[in-house]
Amino acid sequence: MKIKHKAMKDLRHRIFNIIEIGNKNDIPSSLFDKTIVAVILANLLVTLLQTFDQMSPYMGILNAVELITIILFTIEYILRVWTADYLYPDEKNTLRSRFKFIVSIYGLIDLFTIIPYFLPFIFPEGAVAFRIFRVIRIFRLFKINAQYDAFNVIASVLKEKKNQLISSMCMILILMLASSLCMYSLEHEVQPDQFKNAFSGIWWSVSTLLTVGYGDIYPVTVAGKIMAIIISFLGVGMVAIPTGIISAGFVEQYTELKVMGGPVDGKGFEYITSRIDDKCGLAGKELRQLTLMPDMVPIMVIRGDRKLAAKDELRIERDDILVIGVSTLN
């Protein structure tokens, strides 16, 4: 029994290593990742083609491809639930680990990718209403994020600059509300059918501030046109603020990722690298679990030909190169 239990445990661990994204050195794991990406794209392509009337003669083929992709998604989901205890090693109970994966963001995306296909069979009367859930499949694209560090950099920039972005969005919201009320006051008496209420002014201010300019609602009075000119100029500046914040964040992130060794002028840091092997005991741990000196901070993890941003939830693998920044100011 012990031998069978160990064999089953080894099998589950091997499956976990295969289905977890990021190990290019493992051929089955790399092949699995590429296959899942192809299946995701095929599923989304079928979903788009099914909306075209011209594809009616090929609907049988499209439905068959959709069924195959859903079956593969279901198998993948079952395997991820089955091996969830390796994804969350800190959870002592296997059921808690599996529940934690099910309610996680990626777990919910996987689940809601599968459910819309089967709901019409369970509730035929609501088949039309359930079609809207097919839109959730687009979120499967976020599963590709872990394979490309560019997506991780985007998430890191947005997380790092969230306070500045929230401030700029608040400024835009205040300007939008103020301009909508002003335009409503100036234009309501002249064209009450266009500026019926404050919401009509908000629609105009959004299209103007964001430089969309739909043209379905526009001022006709002199005061309204002057206000529109002022709001248009302010809108260009307001939209440029979050754009500049994000652009600066990208420059900072990529500059940091390119630093590989030696002191960095003006930063008071130098960088050391360490290759992860079986002896160090760090393989399989998340960065948040590392115990470092107060003057040390993880910068990035080099995995093959990729440079991964140092996130707390990033799991270290064998043969990774860990880049640690050490303060030289002390």
Query: Is 205 exposed, middle or buried (CB count within 10 Å of its CB: 0-12, 13-18, 19+)?
Result: buried
Q: Which residue, 164, 321, 148, 156, is CA-closest to 255?
A: 156
pLDDT in tens, 26-73: 788 888 888 888 888 888 888 888 888 888 888 899 989 989 998 998
pLDDT in tens, 206-257: 877 776 666 677 788 888 888 888 888 887 777 788 888 888 877 776 666 5
pLDDT-derived band of residue 261, with 50, 70 and 90 as boundaries?
Answer: very low
d(CA 244, CA 249) in angstroms, rounded, equals: 8
Structural domains of the chain, ranges and CATH numbers in brackets: 2-147 (1.20.120), 162-257 (1.10.287.70), 259-327 (3.30.70.1450)
pLDDT in tens, 62-93: 989 989 998 998 998 999 999 888 888 777 78
Question: Which residues face 300 on adjacent strands?
Answer: 309, 323
Place of tokens 């105009």: 204
User: Residue 274, SS3?
Assistant: strand
pTM of the model: 0.58
Cα 6 to Cα 9, 106, 183, distances in angstroms: 5, 29, 73
